[in-house]
Structure 1
Amino acid sequence: MTAHDRPIRTVLVGFGHGGRVFHAPLIEHDPRFDLAVVVTPSPDRRQAARAAYPHAVVVGTLHEALQAVPDLDLAVLSTPNPTHAPLAGEAIGRGLHVVADKPFVVRSDDGERLISAARAADRLLVPFHNRRWDGDFLAVRSMVEPGSLGRIRIFESALESWKPSITKQWKREAGAGDGGGVLYDLGPHLIDQALTLFGPAVPVFADLRMDREGARADDAFFLVLQHRDGITSHLHAGTLVPLARPRFRVTGEAAALTVTGTDPQEELLAAGVLPGDIPGRAADDADLARGLLVRNGHAEPFAVGPGTYTGFYAGVAAAIRGSGPAPVSTEDALAVVRIIEQVHTAFPARRTR
């Protein structure tokens, strides 16, 4: 077996919700990868990782992982936001490709340094903007890009939920300077989707709220982006919302659409459904008709598929083996981080209680 054909030896750094629910199952699902090492400082999570992936070495630090398995190819980072830049730099310095959770950095100057380091080392640095593979976003994209709605006027996108308690300690304690708050958490998804559809944009208004008593960073935001050709994006996110807005609402000159509810992939993965079984499970869901297209006063429901998070790691494998581009570019992710920095500078979060 040549180096090109052997599985991509992967170390997963972090086994919290992101590592356990998203990355580990997706890596394990793709035969082009070998989940060789899991890194987590938590004894309980190390025990859970050994139970779920008995073939993997489980250690407490990235340094230990590199010592235990010296022929690693890829580091996947699913750790608190402020750790992404130093961990990515360490991995690149040791000759590994890197996949980094969103936001791939907290500060854009760190991102610029990492991009330069990855290029100099001829290593891939791939941001994990997985919601490009949400079924609802793919459905919207399939109607927007061919011009089915006519010239787009307003794109509205929301990720809202009711989560009165913050379970992760680092999220409770982190301020905006440490990558804390909803703008750094959910904002990368919403901003990236808007830029993917409509190209570069500038923030022209934002309302960042700190609604929780004693909050260190924003709990909710409303952000307005201005794209070229007069297209405006209205982005909403919050974790204290009893009744969520539609996931998408897109208004064009010829037609408009809405999508309600959320992509089921995360929920199914969290329930232990294997990635390969998700399309069938989602097809059994009677709630697939979450879309509504309105043209000339006539409303027509349309089905929204489950999406394909597996496509992200398929793209990573192709890029590492030289048969395709990275599934998400660092330049795209850096544009997202720059917008977040601009918003925090121009529209500081306001405390509401």
Structure 2
Amino acid sequence: MQKIKTALLSYGMSGKVFHAPFIKMHEGFELVGSWERNKKLIHLDYPTVKSYSSIEELLADGIDLVIVNTPIDTHYEYAKQVLNAGKHALVEKAFTTTAKEAQELKDLAQEKGLKLVVYQNRRWDSDFKTVKSVLDEKILGEIIEAEIRFDRYNPILSPKKWKESNNAGAGILKDLGPHIIDQALCLFGFPIAVFADIRTVREHSEVNDNIDILLYYDDKRVRLHAGFFNKEQFPGFTLQGRNGSFLKARADIQEDVLKAGAKPNIENWGKEPKEKEGLLNINVNGETIRKTIPTLNGNYYDFFEAVYESITQNKTEPVTAEDGLKVMQIIEAAIESSNQKKVISLN
């Protein structure tokens, strides 16, 4: 099996929880090391890998794939450096801070003949996979409206200064926003217009932390919401079709168990508690059918498998640079809409 030598650009929470465990698990990847600026932590979990003192040192070490998991406002700079060094790049969300940057990276990767992947792991969450399967089965009929939420209760500011300082990558719109926007685009395609209300509601906050985005389609509207004051949460996904409704909690367990130190496996990974199953309520031939739908298992391993195949077999990336660009176009339209308090049409 071809080995893809892989390195991280940081070993904080995302490197430790979302990337390194799956890179180590997959036989086709070799975790070579991570760039660590101050704290040298990767050796605590992976004693045999390298801790690089600079990105230049990392790029000079025969690496094939670099995971750009640094603060959002550095993604463009580092991804460009990685691509110019002839390496494939996997870039965390938000892909960039602007659509212009996203387009430039997409063009550069194409020019260099390299793979450029955006890390949108929530496509491989158990809840989203189940929602998509219900839509694909068309049991709800034509969808009239839908809502996707990513709610938390966390009124306290993050201790990570880059998340709370007024920089180009900070704020919930570019933190949780890319997840729900990407999920909406996966389910319903690119909208014709956007309306948004972007606010700052936490005490002493300098960044946006509450968003409502309305995506307009010819035949439906899709509402997206993310915020930090949701102690009692609504369903993460609400689908309303001509035949009825499907409600599903955002209940994927992978992040929590990874944070607790669990190592991913193939057999029983990503299985939600049964009580979190989604509720289907539809009308069939004049009769009401109301039941829960078994939840599909989530598995971020499948994302990394698709990354491996995209590099070794030249398959399409599981999340393309074009996907990342479209998310940034929605984000920019949302900012313009909120500032001008009007609907923004999209080309």
Q: TM-score, normalised by structure 2?
A: 0.92
What does 1:185-264 align with in structure 2 at a 5 Å threshold?
185-227=175-217, 229-264=218-253
Decide whether the 8 Å contact of 2:59 with 2:82 is kept in 1: no
Name 2:88's counterpart in structure 1: 97
> Is 1:57–2:50 an aligned residue pair?
yes
Partner of 2:118: 127
* 3-state SS in 2 of match to 1:316: helix
- The answer to whether the Cα contact below 8 Å between 2:140 and 2:244 also exists between their aligned partners in 1 is yes
Contact kept, 8 Å, 2:150 with 2:250, in 1: the verdict is: no
Unaligned residue ranges in structure 1 (runs of 5+): none
| 1:174 counterpart (159, 166, 175) | 166
Match of 2:344 in 1: none
Segments of structure 2 that go 5 or more residues without pairing to the other structure are 342-347
Counterpart position of 1:72: 63
Amino acid corresponding to residue 187 of structure 1 in structure 2: G
Q: Distance in 2 between matches of 1:155 and 1:309?
A: 25
C-alpha contact (below 8 Å) 1:154/1:232 kept by paired residues: yes
2:282 matched residue in structure 1: 295
Q: Hey, what does 2:345 align to over in structure 1?
A: none
CA distance in 2, matches of 1:113, 1:324: 22
CA positional deviation for 1:231 = 1.8
Instruction: State the one-letter code of the partner of 2:119.
Output: F
d(CA) in 2 for partners of 1:19, 1:41? 14
The residue type equivalent to 1:172 in the other structure is E
2: CA distance, partners of 1:160 / 1:99: 26
Matching residue within 142, 145, 161 for 1:154: 145
Asked whether 1:6 is paired with 2:12, we answer no
Offset at residue 64 of structure 1 (A): 2.1
CA apart distance, 1:289 = 4.2
Q: Deviations over 1:185-209 (max 9, x none)?
A: 1111101111111111144321212
The corresponding residue for 1:27 is 23
**How many corresponding residue pairs?**
336
Cα distance in 1 between the residues matched to 2:298 and 2:334: 30
What's the offset of the Cα at 1:222? 1.0
* Residues 288 and 41 (structure 1), Cα distance of their counterparts in 2 relative to 1, 3 Å cut: farther
Identity of aligned residues (%): 32
Task: Give the secondary structure class of the aligned counterpart of 2:268.
Answer: helix
Deviation of residue 349 (structure 1)? Answer: 10
Root mean square deviation of aligned Cα:
1.8
In structure 2, distance between residues paired with 1:349 and 1:6: 52
1:137 matches 2:95? no
Q: How does the TM-score come out when normalised to structure 1?
A: 0.91
Corresponding residue for 2:34? 38
Q: Does 1:115 align with 2:106?
A: yes
1:319 & 1:286 partners in 2: Cα distance? 33
- Give the whole-Å Cα distance in 2 for the aligned partners of 1:128 and 1:244: 26
Shift of 1:282: 4.8
- The separation in 1 between residues aligned to 2:13 and 2:151, in whole angstroms, is 18
Secondary structure at 1:249 match in 2: strand
Worse overlay, 198-207 or 135-144: 198-207
Once residues 251 and 64 of structure 2 are traced to their aligned partners in structure 1, the CA distance between those partners, rounded to angstroms, is 34
Q: Secondary structure at the match of 2:101?
A: helix
Task: Tell me the SS of whatever aligns to 2:265.
Answer: helix
Q: Tell me the distance in 2 between the aligned counterparts of 1:282 and 1:33.
A: 21
CA contact (8 A) 1:26 1:310 kept: yes
CA distance in 1, matches of 2:299, 2:192: 29
Asked whether 1:163 is paired with 2:151, we answer no
